[in-house]
């Protein structure tokens, strides 16, 4: 027997509604009486199953509280060894949002010298150590199209906010996610591509290899290689254990192929 449930109601409320329907059926005929009893039995079994599954999920720790995300969690991000936030866009729309809403005085804007690279911001980057700058450069390079193209290194530059513009020399505005850089740049030549993917305080996280695992409980180092993204995600999920799913890892990885270390 197929039982339809109203998702707006609890299992108990659904059951109560069906019990009322069963009473009406019972009052009609012998056949309806049997149908009503069958319905009551099915609903009782359904309630037991729901209770059992909820209890088992709670015991496995898979019933998680929904926590309000911080603004940077919708982007790609990590914290440097000095605690500075580094954020990169996932697409042209996010690049636009980052530069227009989150690039501020004292920050540094990073970008790989290749078509198809994220706008990357190191908050408070003008006060950062050289090692923090190298980590931000590796992060910006690793999420660029260089990884997808099979490169192992890429040139990355950094500039202060006032050197980033949305207008070309002609005065025409650029398309979404496009920017003009004016003035001197700080270069990070032949920046190696590489990420640490692991489980941190906010779930699955990724950081540049230069930063190291930080506070990640478990982690895997990835570099450009020969394994397809889906295969690599499954292998990483196996290494990280129940705290990370393959789908979450897929979201954290750049486009391209991988080697696990």
Q: What is residue 68's predicted lDDT score, i.e. its pLDDT?
A: 78
Residue 186 tokens, joined: 């700080």
Residue 2 tokens, joined: 């197929």
CB count in 10 Å sphere of residue 110: 28
Residue 167 tokens, joined: 């207008």
22 located within any domain: yes
pTM over 0.85: no
Closest CA to 168 of 184, 182, 183: 182
Same domain for 81 and 178: yes
Same domain for 260 and 157: no
Q: What is residue 25's predicted lDDT score, i.e. its pLDDT?
A: 61
The total of structural domains in the chain comes to: 3
Tens digit of pLDDT for each residue in 135-188?
999 999 999 999 999 999 999 999 999 999 987 766 666 667 788 999 999 999
Print the SS3 string covering 76-136: EEEECCCCCEEEECCCHHHHHHHHHHHCCCCCEEEEECCCCCCCEEECCHHHCCHHHHHHH
Q: What is residue 13's predicted lDDT score, i.e. its pLDDT?
A: 64
Quick check: 216 pLDDT over 80? yes
3 located within any domain: no
Domain end: 193, 212, 236, which one? 193
Q: What is residue 189's predicted lDDT score, i.e. its pLDDT?
A: 98
Same domain for 175 and 122: yes
Tens digit of pLDDT for each residue in 45-67?
766 766 666 666 555 544 444 56
Binned at pLDDT 50, 70 and 90, residue 15 comes out as: low
Q: What is residue 62's predicted lDDT score, i.e. its pLDDT?
A: 47
Same domain for 205 and 189: no
Quick check: 128 pLDDT over 60? yes
Question: Mean pLDDT, the chain, as a whole number?
Answer: 86
Same domain for 186 and 79: yes
64 located within any domain: no
Q: What is residue 10's predicted lDDT score, i.e. its pLDDT?
A: 60
4 located within any domain: no
The CA dihedral of 252, 181, 128, 83, to the nearest 10 degrees, is: -30
Interatomic CA distance for residues 13 and 157, integer angstroms:
60
The answer to whether the beta carbons of residues 167 and 204 sit under 8 Å apart is no
Domain that holds residue 217: 194-261
Any idea which of 39-43, 148-152, 177-181, 245-249 has the lowest mean pLDDT? 39-43
Interatomic CA distance for residues 164 and 160, integer angstroms:
7
Q: What is residue 82's predicted lDDT score, i.e. its pLDDT?
A: 96
SS3 216: coil
Looking up tokens 């260089």, which residue turns up?
Answer: 146
């Amino acid at each position: 027997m197929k039982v339809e449930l109203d998702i707006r109601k609890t299992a108990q409320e659904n059951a109560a509604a069906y019990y009322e329907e069963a009473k009406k059926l019972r009052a009609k005929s012998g056949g309806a009486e049997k149908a009503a009893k069958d319905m009551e039995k099915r609903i009782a079994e359904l309630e037991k199953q729901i209770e059992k599954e909820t209890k088992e999920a709670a015991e496995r720790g898979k019933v998680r509280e929904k926590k309000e995300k911080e603004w940077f969690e919708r982007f790609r991000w990590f914290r440097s060894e000095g605690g500075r936030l580094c954020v990169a866009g996932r697409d042209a729309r996010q690049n636009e949002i980052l530069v227009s809403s989150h690039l501020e005085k004292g920050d540094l804007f990073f970008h790989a010298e290749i078509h198809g690279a994220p706008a990357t911001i190191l908050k408070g980057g003008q006060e950062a150590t050289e090692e923090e700058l190298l980590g931000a450069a590796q992060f910006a390079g690793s999420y660029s199209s260089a990884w997808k193209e099979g490169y192992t290194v890429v040139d990355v530059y950094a500039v202060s906010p006032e050197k980033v513009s949305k207008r070309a020399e002609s005065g025409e505005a650029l398309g979404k996610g496009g920017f003009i850089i004016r003035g001197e740049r700080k270069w990070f030549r032949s920046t190696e591509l590489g990420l640490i993917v692991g489980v941190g305080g906010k779930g699955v996280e990724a950081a540049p290899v230069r930063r190291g695992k930080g506070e990640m409980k478990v982690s895997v180092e990835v570099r450009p290689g020969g394994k397809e993204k889906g295969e690599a995600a499954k292998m990483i999920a196996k290494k990280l254990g129940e705290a990370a799913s393959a789908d979450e890892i897929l979201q954290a990885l750049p486009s391209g192929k991988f080697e696990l270390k």
